Amino acid sequence: MDTGRYRIDPADVNPKSARPIPVYLAGSNRTAFRRIARRADGWLPTGISAAETLAGLAQIRRMAEEEGRDPAQIRCVYQVSLYALLAEVAEGDRKPFTGSARQLAADIAELAEGGVDHVYATLPYVVRDRNEYYDRLAELHAAVRATTE
């Protein structure tokens, strides 16, 4: 296939997927939103607040409807990247998705209540080893479960 910019040679890939593989795209401007609304199965926001995420998701879904798509079919998966230890931060000083497990759980609950389908957390600079990684994620998981149940 020749698209004008890229040439893709025919190939057989096995085993075949049992179902269509969803395509999620990132981006946070109008052009990216329009592309997601027109072509993607979902949106991958990161590094923005829950309020910005929910407003962006609503905008993408409106655009999808304008494109003749079912807006409910546009999914959203949010990545929370933690860059500090899970310690309590005074609310006036706290940025979204920072602070203690309890504070992070409140941010994640806001996403869930607003229609975000899935949230996953990464701890790239927070932990010293795999055991601490598992401990921190278990703490966050417990706090999220307590907030959303």
DSSP structure string for 14-38? SSPPSSPPP-EE---SHHHHHHHHH
Q: What is the pLDDT of residues 45-75, one digit of tens each?
A: 988 999 999 999 999 999 999 999 999 999 9
Exposure letters 63-87 (e unless 16+ CB within 10 A, then b): bbeeeeeebeebbbbbebebeeebe
Sign of the alpha-carbon torsion through 23, 27, 28, 32: negative
Domains defined for the chain, CATH in brackets: 24-148 (3.20.20.30)
Length of the chain: 149
- Which pair of tokens denotes residue 75? 């999914």
Per-chain mean pLDDT for the chain: 88
Helix (H) or strand (E) holding 76: strand 75-81
pLDDT at 66: 97
Q: What is the pTM of this model?
A: 0.80
- pLDDT score at 3: 60
pLDDT tens by residue, the chain, 149 residues: 556 677 878 888 888 889 989 999 999 999 999 999 999 999 999 889 999 999 999 999 999 999 999 999 999 999 988 766 677 888 888 888 888 888 888 999 999 999 999 998 887 677 888 888 888 888 888 988 888 66
